Chains A and B, each alone.
Chain A
Amino acid sequence: MTHSIKQIQHGLAQKKFSSVEITQQYLDQIELHNKTLNCFITVTGELALRQAKAADGVIARGEAKALTGVPLAHKDIFCTDGVKTSCASKMLDNFIAPYDATIIEKFKHDGAVMLGKTNMDEFAMGSSNENSYYGAVSNPWDLERVPGGSSGGSAAAVAASLAPAATGTDTGGSIRQPAALCGISGIKPTYGRVSRYGMIAFGSSLDQGGPLARSAEDCAVLLQTMAGFDPRDSTSIDRPVPDYCERLDEDISGLKIGLPAEYFAEGLDAGVAKVIESAIDEYRKLGAEIVDIQLPNSKLSIPVYYIVATAECSSNLSRFDGVRFGHRCDNPVDLEDLYRRSRDEGFGDEVKRRIMIGTYALSAGYYDAYYLKAQQLRRLIKQDYEKAFNQVDIILCPVTPEVAFKQGAKTDDPVSMYLQDIYTLALNLAGLPGMSIPAGFSQGLPVGMQLIGNYFNEPGLLNVAHQFQQATDWHMKTPEIT
């Protein structure tokens, strides 16, 4: 059972099935496979069927909105009023959010049905979904392998057809990398395009929400609901939202696609490189002009990211103090003990490491050498892209240096895990929009292709991705779950 969002919208409109029927089908799939895959932290079956029933009434009255009756899953980083919102942390295991994130509100407004909350790396910190208090998620293409992270539950759920689409967040690759490793499509919009209100903060100057779905077309439909100015997010950009589906069918002949030399250098697995090469050939056939470009400061994105992101995380996560919400230790002897033990018990190892690195980078005497230096280098990374976009319309490169790796392969060495993010971090540092779409297979596992656009050029990105998906069928491949 594999439906696109488009097919579900069509089926509901044509009365081929009701929202209750399609929602029940997905709930049945979740029931069947979630024990194996561990994609969901919370399944909201009862709520979903209630919402679906209401949606069927709305459809019958002819009052359907964009997503009325369409079932979706949400990353457990988005606050959902009255529903547990854990961020995959023991710290928030008992947290029932008292309000909805803006994007949740928008999906409710447009009539979508919520199937449940998906698993992730704790506080979105990780590249393998192994840092979850609720256990690792399996890659549906090979259960012994990771689905990527941090939106690993969302990506695996869509790949395994436990949900037709899901939301995710991307601070350093957390939408694109799991989309690539699970063989689905995902878009990380321009910084400020999607509201961060009610999205539990990790690196505030980097975090951005976006959809994961089977195709670019479905991503366009979901982004339409998610995008837009929000006065409750101080970094939200007040700028009209274009129609993301309008340009999908545009011809891309003559379009200039840049290949950054630094992204095809040493460290890229030969099998992955081969798949990307054939994708580039496909674009040649579609009439695009392929141009070699340089992004010379790319190699700095790992150190810069792991200073900026950890500094911001140490500040953001100071709100978890065991006083107002979340985990509190038993019998604290004094306030200091309450803070320290609540945080020690509530946070996992990777979260603690990042808080400590960030605390160090911001501490007196080290601020200039680490945080300020990183913010300066961040500008150089951004300037590389500005130059590149004077030459080309879209940048194409791999998403990950290798296909999905085995669970446990990198858990003992945080730095080797960080190196997985080499191709995805720079885009967040620059604030640019990017996509990952399926480009083929290596060793029987999906390979993702990354497309990067200029600021607010989501319509152009979606167009380029959709044209590839009209010419190929990699995005239609689904795993056999055994």
Chain B
Amino acid sequence: MTLKNEDVRNIAQLARLQISDSEVGQLTTDLSNILALAEQMKAVDTSNVTPMAHPMDATQRLRDDEVTETNQRDKFQSIAPDVENGFYRVPKVIE
């Protein structure tokens, strides 16, 4: 699998990463090399193999719907970049 610069720009957009024009070339080479490594997987027939999501095939536990955490908003927001009246502030989203 060889990627083009345009593919890498598209992946960066999906991953919400800013990629400068000077970085694109090297990234395209690096990512193509890594994907070339992944091509080895194609050689093995896995048509009847169930995908493995957990080493012990464990499923998610359920618990009673009870309040287990105390409200620590002020503590958590003390490390936030920008807050106001208990809200996280971001640039205007809707015009």
Binding site for B on A (CB under 8 A): 94-96, 98, 191-192, 205, 231, 234-235, 237, 297, 299-300, 302-304, 306-307, 314, 318, 321-326, 328, 332-341, 343-344, 347, 352-353, 355-357, 359-361, 363, 369-370, 372-380, 382, 413-415, 418, 429-432, 455
Q: What is the size category of the interface that chain B forms with chain A?
A: 35 or more
Is B60 an interface residue, CB under 8 A from the partner?
A: yes
* A332-B91, A370-B38, A414-B34 given; A355·B15 CB < 8 A: yes
Closest 4 CB pairs of A and B: A431-B55, A375-B51, A344-B18, A328-B81
* Contact residues in A for B14 (Cβ distance below 8 Å): 359, 363
With the chains together, A379 CA to B17 CA distance in Å? Answer: 33
With the chains together, A302 CA to B34 CA distance in Å? Answer: 10
A96 touches B15 (CB 8 A): no
B17 touches A306 (CB 8 A): no
Is B67 an interface residue, CB under 8 A from the partner?
A: no
With the chains together, A382 CA to B56 CA distance in Å? Answer: 10
B81 touches A322 (CB 8 A): yes
B72 touches A98 (CB 8 A): yes
* Contact residues in B for A339 (Cβ distance below 8 Å): 16
B79 touches A98 (CB 8 A): yes
* A191-B56, A325-B79 given; A377·B17 CB < 8 A: no
Q: Is the interface of B mostly helix, strand, loop or mixed?
A: loop
Binding site for A on B (CB under 8 A): 8, 11-12, 14-19, 27, 30-31, 33-35, 37-42, 44, 46, 49-56, 58, 60-61, 63, 72, 75-76, 78-82, 88, 90-93
Q: Is the interface of A mostly helix, strand, loop or mixed?
A: helix
Shortest beta-carbon distance from B61 to chain A in Å: 6
B8 touches A379 (CB 8 A): no
Shortest beta-carbon distance from A228 to chain B in Å: 15
Q: Chain A residue with minimal CB distance to B60?
A: A234
Shortest beta-carbon distance from B15 to chain A in Å: 4
With the chains together, A203 CA to B15 CA distance in Å? Answer: 17
A341 touches B18 (CB 8 A): yes
* Contact residues in A for B91 (Cβ distance below 8 Å): 332-335, 337-338
A323 touches B88 (CB 8 A): yes
* Contact residues in B for A304 (Cβ distance below 8 Å): 41
Shortest beta-carbon distance from B77 to chain A in Å: 8
With the chains together, A192 CA to B58 CA distance in Å? Answer: 10
Given contacts A352-B17, A353-B27, A357-B31, 17 further A-B contacts (CB under 8 A): A95-B79, A98-B75, A191-B54, A303-B39, A314-B15, A321-B16, A323-B90, A335-B91, A337-B91, A344-B19, A347-B17, A356-B31, A357-B35, A360-B11, A363-B11, A377-B41, A382-B55
With the chains together, A363 CA to B51 CA distance in Å? Answer: 18
With the chains together, A228 CA to B25 CA distance in Å? Answer: 47
Shortest beta-carbon distance from B92 to chain A in Å: 7
A372 touches B51 (CB 8 A): yes
* Contact residues in B for A355 (Cβ distance below 8 Å): 15, 17
A359 touches B44 (CB 8 A): no
Q: Chain B residue with minimal CB distance to A416?
A: B33
Shortest beta-carbon distance from B66 to chain A in Å: 12
* Contact residues in A for B52 (Cβ distance below 8 Å): 375-376, 378-379, 382
A356 touches B35 (CB 8 A): no
* A356-B12, A363-B11 given; A307·B54 CB < 8 A: no
Q: Chain B residue with minimal CB distance to A307?
A: B38
* Contact residues in A for B40 (Cβ distance below 8 Å): 299-300, 302-303
